Structure 1
Amino acid sequence: MPKRSPTTMTTNFLRSISERFTPSATPTATKERPDGFYTARTLAAQLFPATRPELDGEDCLHDCTTCTIHLPRKFSIDEEDKLYGEIKGFSRHLVVATGKTDWVRDVEEEAGSVMEAVGKHRGDVEGGNLMLSASNIPTESDFLGEGDGKGDYGRPTRVLLLPAFQWINGVTQESVPELIKGCINRTSTNTSRLPSSSLQHQQQPTTNNGPSLPSPQPPLLQLPTGLTLTPCPHKYLILLCSQATRDARCGQSAPLLRRELERHLRPLGLFRDLGDERPGGVGIYFISHVGGHKYSANMLVYRKAEDRGQSEGKGEGEGEAAQCIWLARVRPEECENIVRYTVLQGKVVKPERQLRGGFDRERCLVSW
């Protein structure tokens, strides 16, 4: 075998390092985006790692055998369509507390609501598509015992902004325009990199000019008078579509899945009920239609970065979302492994059947 020159060996070494820390750029795997992220265009590109029995144990191959909760006998969904890569890309997700589990068909038509105001001022949104969801999260009035528990839109409420993992409190219809301009437009997006101090092992994509640098921090927020900002204390969020007005199956499946998720989270000390503000744990919320109700149940899992916290002088409840894993066709007997592998480890148990897409800010990958 001919000897390789030092120059060749150096070139090969640098190439191997680059390949290790750069997502594959083959036509069938990933495609570079203008923002420096990459689109994982196929399941083979592995936006999220799949469970493997040789690494994760044989349990990852089996659904829960102790599950006593079942979907209705006539619960029929589409099992044939391709799921992965078919969702519309979004930059931020605004989850509005309403205290309700169902809404009018289009939540932007909920008269007097914050959702209606956001719909009217979408032209002010910058930085990409804003996903808007109504949720069953209690309003501020409900927490104070002043609400009617039925969605009193005449009182201030709060909204959860993702991926920032921040609560914005005291929101009214009138404050929405300034909220969008001074706060929402200035926070992180799904395609902005996490702060470098939390990403010591981040796989940064490279450009022709060498490794790309972390994105600058968002500008200072300008909250309207009367609004306050507090970090969402949960480490993980599970959002379940419950909007029966769009599809009865969503209204049926969401409460059943929540009960089964709770059964597996409680022994781990991770379950957080509505209003439970203890740091860490898993918040489970019902939200309005996200698309694809024929693949019910839809589930969005938001996960904070694993290595955030004390290394940055932050408390356990602080930090931003590093991942959003969007699943569909979820059944109660699959909740145990979703908790064990997807929520806690960021792995997908049944990617071919369930993965619709999402983002990974640590690896600079999205599905759109």
Structure 2
Amino acid sequence: MKLRPSLCWLTSSKPTACFLSSTPCRLNRSRVPLDIPPPFPVTKTCPEPSCSCPPTPPMPEGLPIDYEQPLNGTMAAYAQQIVICTGQRDWTSRIEDDGQHHTWGQLVRGLKQLLGRGGRFADPFNNVLISNSSFVPSSISTKGLSNASAFLFPSFKFFPSVPVQPRESAVAETDLSTFAQAFLLPNTLNPMTGSLPEAKKAELVRKPELASKFPDAVDLYCSPVILICGHGGRDKRCGVMAPILEDEFQRCLRAEGFSLGECNSGTIDSPGHAHIGLISHIGGHKYAGNIIVYVPPGMTIKDSSTVHPLAGKGIWYGRIEPKHVQGIVEETILGGKVLADHFRGGIDRNGNILRL
């Protein structure tokens, strides 16, 4: 049989010819692994706690935690996450079916109608993660209109009053479409949208000039935000784990001198203040507890003026137990290091997805 020449690549030399055969081509040189440095400081494993912490609760029967699959890369890619303040600690499995008599429920449904499949601003390359949270809505209202409150990441903004009334309302100056155009649409479209009509492409691009219509928006500059998936109505594992993790984060952050409080424009962002909230489904219940740590762009390393290495980033962790909370507080929130053994993925202020 005549053998066809092929190219076999040696690790550190030019390609050389060999012949295809029924046995694999054997090379004398071993493959050298790529040594790509991580995009942020890393701690290989979460340190053991130096103080007593609550035991890990048992999981519901038939719903174990997956300790086998590697976590890196299990975070779904997204462009932004809007975290809606509901004041509730759990929700129905489909959050758009909840809050029928609340403005936050109107906000969830309105956003999904605008951004979801078939919606006016539907764009498969602009995945906006819509999450409910236990944060209490701000008491601020505008001219008697129906408004809801929400955080937006990685823009690091808090909106005490997002309009949910239709624009046709006699007193409404802005509506949810205006909000979406000002903050939720991409600045530039993915090249794959090139075949769309010009008018449609123009509609799908952010209109930053509309941001001025929301003067009560607050930039988060100093205060970290810790989000814990606690969606027991979707999966019992998160419902069991989240309250214990919430208590432990509160204890550890208070021990470090952080204050914790409600979401109002006066205290939403200040040095030494932190926000901890339960949120709805973000994917990966089998990795409970699931945590997102958003480090604000103006945060510094503890007791120094050094810029925090994770400033402006969101870090996703999985398989977090109470014994890991102190390590997250000390290593990630205060020290600027990512715990590699719990890292699911991350996002920076430009919407770039981070991997190890």
- TM-score interval (norm. to shorter): 0.5 to 0.7
1:137 matched to which residue of 2? 135
Bigger helix fraction: 1
2:196 matched to which residue of 1? none
- Select the residue among 105, 112, 125 that pairs with 1:119: 112
Superposition TM-score, scaled by structure 1 size:
0.64
Structure 1: gaps of 5 or more residues: 1-26, 31-43, 53-59, 145-153, 190-217, 309-319
Shift of 1:79: 0.3
Aligned positions of 1:78-227 closer than 5 A? 78-110=66-98, 111=100, 112-122=105-115, 123=119, 124=121, 128-141=126-139, 155-174=146-165, 175-185=175-185, 220-223=208-211
Shift of 1:333: 1.0
2:217 matched to which residue of 1? 229
Query: For residue 324 of structure 2, what is the amino acid of its counterpart?
Result: E
Question: What is the count of residue pairs matched by the alignment?
Answer: 271
8 A contact 2:89–2:230 mirrored in 1: yes
8 A contact 1:107–1:134 mirrored in 2: yes
Root-mean-square deviation over aligned CA pairs = 3.4
Q: Deviations over 1:314-337 (max 9, x none)?
A: xxxxxx962111000001111111
Q: Deviations over 1:123-172 (max 9, x none)?
A: 4156721111111111134x79xxxxxxxxx9421111111111123223
- Select the residue among 317, 323, 330 that pairs with 1:333: 323
**Aligned-partner SS, 2:109:** helix
- For residues 224 and 364 of structure 1, the distance between their equivalents in structure 2, rounded to whole angstroms, comes to 26
**Aligned-partner SS, 1:255:** helix
8 A contact 1:67–1:332 mirrored in 2: no
1:68 aligns with 2:53: yes
- Select the residue among 269, 280, 286 that pairs with 1:288: 280
8 A contact 1:164–1:321 mirrored in 2: no
**Aligned-partner SS, 1:121:** helix
8 A contact 2:224–2:275 mirrored in 1: yes
Superposition TM-score, scaled by structure 2 size:
0.66
8 A contact 2:106–2:164 mirrored in 1: yes
Judged with a 3 Å threshold, the aligned counterparts in structure 2 of structure 1 residues 339 and 187 are, in CA distance, closer, same or farther, namely farther
8 A contact 1:108–1:118 mirrored in 2: no
Q: Deviations over 1:255-296 (max 9, x none)?
A: 211211121211322232334535033211111100001110
Identity %: 26
- Select the residue among 45, 51, 55 that pairs with 2:43: 51
Query: For residue 264 of structure 1, what is the amino acid of its counterpart?
Result: C
Q: Deviations over 1:60-100 (max 9, x none)?
A: 76421422312223464110112111222111111111111
8 A contact 1:47–1:365 mirrored in 2: no
- For residues 188 and 258 of structure 2, the distance between their equivalents in structure 1, rounded to whole angstroms, comes to 26
Aligned positions of 1:274-353 closer than 5 A? 274-275=262-263, 276-277=267-268, 279-280=270-271, 281-305=273-297, 322-349=312-339, 351-352=340-341
